[in-house]
Chains A and B, each alone.
Chain A
Amino acid sequence: MTRVPTNKRQTSADPSGPTVVVSGDGDRLALAGALEIVTLAAARNSLKKWSRQGPSRSLDVAKLDSLDTPGALFLRSLRDKGVKLTGIRAEHQALLDLICGLDLKPLPKVKSVPRWRQLVIQLGKGADNAWQDALDIITFVGRAARWTVNALIHPDCLRPASISRQVAETGIQALPIIGLMAVMIAVVIGYQGVAQLRPYGGEDFTINLVAVSVLREMGVLITSIMVAGRSGSAFTAEIGVMKTREEVDALKVMGIEPMQVLVVPRVIALVITLPLLTFFADIMGLIGGAAIAQTLLDVSPAQYLMRLPHVIDGSDLFVGLIKAPIFAFFIAIVSCMHGLRASGSAESVGRETTRAVVKSIFLVIVLDAFFSILFEKLGL
């Protein structure tokens, strides 16, 4: 017996599909055809009223050609209501016995919590998570710092091969995208500057605006955000996969400290590369500024170069670059921490990666705001 495709739109009304026929009247009815999952709704509807009537009803099922488990469950429910089943075929009897022998309980209801309580619960959970996260980061920063210092004191614990591979992956391969981003951001600032400053006749100051904001803020911020998205996520995913495949446990069993081989090289590598990338982004940003000066202000690249020393000084470059290693440290720490937090399933790696990226970008911006205030107070 083959079944014909049946879906919601063409249920048992489909003439070519299996059908169930109810015949007879009064207390004695007979079922014929197929009592299967696709015809169940039809059978139930035609027997609905009848099955609620008084006792001494019987249903003849001798003409049923096929019966599946949902059909048998339906017959069981009829029998439980006091309907007598007659003429059960031998092959259906085994199935019916099996289904009737099952100890059926309804699925427990999932307790639903009212909306306002859900809000309170989520707020509480969120606060608790944030607190635990803060504690975790502080502990992890401490441990990572301890192992990094240890590696610097005992250079034979350093892993130059691992560090150089990470430098290549996080630094050299990121050059094209970071350079492009820096040029773009200079163009964006340049256009805004010209538009805002022209009414005051001060559009020439666009050069100052672009150069200073790129060097002090934009270069390092764009680079850090890019690196957090690019390399931070890679750190979390790499370490997370190692964690789920018990590779991290294998290291521990061999007496190798995961912090030393997995975290320290990445932290050191990122602390090396992020300032270099930032410097590169600064140069590219200034080149973007030159392009804007040429196209919008008719200032030739030579003139632009002449003016640059008057608009910016060493402290602008310093203020930008000094932040880079600190951002790098936190991006690497947060990413590695989330990688080591992954557990068991593959989906936890994905979840931790998202968290790592969100948290490192958040931290970068918070730290940047903090530095802005600090440098303002210091008069830099």
Chain B
Amino acid sequence: MTTPATAHAKPILSARGIVNRFGKQVVHDKLSLDIVPGEIIGIAGGSGSGKSVLLKTLTGLHQPDAGEVLLNGKAVQSIGAAEKASLFGVLFQQGALFSSLSVAQNIMLPMREHTALPAEEQQQIAAMKLALAGLDADSGIKFPAALSGGMVKRAAFARALALDPKILFLDEPTSDLDPIAASGIDALIRQLNDSLGITVVIVTHDLTTLFTICGRIAVLVDKKITVDTADKLMKSDHPWIHEFFHGPRAEGAMQARKTSHGK
């Protein structure tokens, strides 16, 4: 089970006063977010609420118009490339696997770039990452074009884990997947969080993912962010948040939460 958010725990990643605007349109208005080590936090919000921009801001891919992102108290933009690679793992929405490399080569690429391990050992580690992500060794020599949607996500997972990151960012990890594959991904996220202690930040629309594996949920609404546990957010008065957690789709997801938390 994920560790419940504790207000006094020292955040591993914290965003302070983030402002993002495109032209005249303000997407984020001075929002702040603290992410505690070892938690699974879900970022939810309507289409166009700036979830992906927030993810890009947190990973340092996007420079906010104001505010700063601190990783262990250090500005994310000032962290060196190699250090960043060993701290952050990102699972992009479409996987972003390099199409000219096989799956195993995709996983070995960051190791080749940032470590001095011999090729044979890199292959052993790549095979282990594949197994961790729930893929068999045979899929290692396949090219991304030959993989199904669920396998692409798992392969991208394995690559995101290549350097044992401290924080894993997942952009819509269960989108475009059938329910069985999506549940498999959910289980994988929880397992990695349990056994490796990785902090996980998930941007998702998937209510089941939010309800079953996320300790806290950050809802992006009205250019601000509201962070709380699912149970407290359920009682929120805000019309959008109320609709989000009480709509017809939320009912089924709540059922899943009860089952999952019951066992």
Which of B102, B126, B161, B164 is packed against the most chain A CB atoms within 10 Å? Answer: B164
CA distance A336 to B104 in the complex (A): 37
Beta-carbon contact of B137 and A106 below 8 Å: yes
For A66, give the chain B residue with the smallest CB separation: B164
CA distance A131 to B128 in the complex (A): 45
Beta-carbon contact of B125 and A3 below 8 Å: no
- State whether A3 and B137 are in contact (beta carbons under 8 Å apart), knowing that A68-B164, A99-B128, A345-B99 are contacts in the complex: no
- State whether A5 and B128 are in contact (beta carbons under 8 Å apart), knowing that A108-B137, A108-B138 are contacts in the complex: no
| B47 surroundings in chain A (CB, below 8 A) | none
| A11 surroundings in chain B (CB, below 8 A) | 115-116
CA distance A345 to B143 in the complex (A): 13
For A67, give the chain B residue with the smallest CB separation: B164
Interface flag for A36 (CB, 8 Å): yes
| A102 surroundings in chain B (CB, below 8 A) | 128, 131-132
Binds A, one of B3-11, B191-199, B212-220, B232-240: B191-199
Interface flag for A305 (CB, 8 Å): no
Interface flag for A173 (CB, 8 Å): no
Interface flag for B140 (CB, 8 Å): yes
Binds B, one of A37-45, A50-58, A208-216: A37-45
- State whether A69 and B137 are in contact (beta carbons under 8 Å apart), knowing that A3-B83, A3-B87, A11-B116 are contacts in the complex: no
Beta-carbon contact of A4 and B124 below 8 Å: no
Interface flag for A154 (CB, 8 Å): no
CA distance A99 to B131 in the complex (A): 9
Please report which residues of chain B, range 114-152, place their CB below 8 angstroms from some CB of chain A when the two chains form the complex: 114-118, 121, 123-129, 131-132, 136-138, 140-141, 145
CA distance A8 to B121 in the complex (A): 15
Beta-carbon contact of A37 and B196 below 8 Å: no
Beta-carbon contact of B121 and A36 below 8 Å: no
Beta-carbon contact of A40 and B117 below 8 Å: yes
Beta-carbon contact of A107 and B127 below 8 Å: yes
Beta-carbon contact of B136 and A107 below 8 Å: no
- State whether A73 and B124 are in contact (beta carbons under 8 Å apart), knowing that A105-B137, A107-B140, A108-B138 are contacts in the complex: yes
- The tally of residues in A whose CB lies under 8 Å from a CB in B reads 35
CA distance A106 to B121 in the complex (A): 11
Cross-chain contact of A106 among B72, B116, B127, B129 (Cβ < 8 A): B127
CA distance A40 to B138 in the complex (A): 26
Beta-carbon contact of B72 and A2 below 8 Å: yes
Interface flag for B86 (CB, 8 Å): yes
**From residue B183, how far is it (CB to closest CB) to chain A in Å?**
20
Please report which residues of chain B, range 98-115, place their CB below 8 angstroms from some CB of chain A when the two chains form the complex: 99, 102, 104, 111, 113-115
Interface flag for A104 (CB, 8 Å): yes
**From residue B60, how far is it (CB to closest CB) to chain A in Å?**
15
Interface flag for B82 (CB, 8 Å): yes
Beta-carbon contact of B115 and A38 below 8 Å: yes
**From residue A73, how far is it (CB to closest CB) to chain B in Å?**
5
- State whether A107 and B116 are in contact (beta carbons under 8 Å apart), knowing that A6-B82, A95-B195 are contacts in the complex: no
CA distance A98 to B163 in the complex (A): 17
Beta-carbon contact of A70 and B128 below 8 Å: yes
| A103 surroundings in chain B (CB, below 8 A) | 131
CA distance A44 to B125 in the complex (A): 14
Beta-carbon contact of A105 and B136 below 8 Å: yes
**From residue B144, how far is it (CB to closest CB) to chain A in Å?**
10
| A110 surroundings in chain B (CB, below 8 A) | 102, 141
Interface flag for B80 (CB, 8 Å): yes
A residues with a Cβ closer than 8 A to B are 2-8, 11, 36-38, 40-41, 44, 68-70, 73, 91, 94-95, 97-99, 102-108, 110, 344-345, 347
13 contacts between A and B (CB under 8 A): A3-B83, A3-B87, A6-B114, A11-B116, A37-B86, A40-B115, A40-B121, A94-B195, A98-B132, A103-B131, A107-B137, A107-B140, A110-B102
B residues with a Cβ closer than 8 A to A are 72, 80-83, 86-87, 99, 102, 104, 111, 113-118, 121, 123-129, 131-132, 136-138, 140-141, 145, 161, 163-164, 191, 194-197
Q: 3 nearest interchain CB pairs?
A: A68-B164, A105-B137, A5-B82
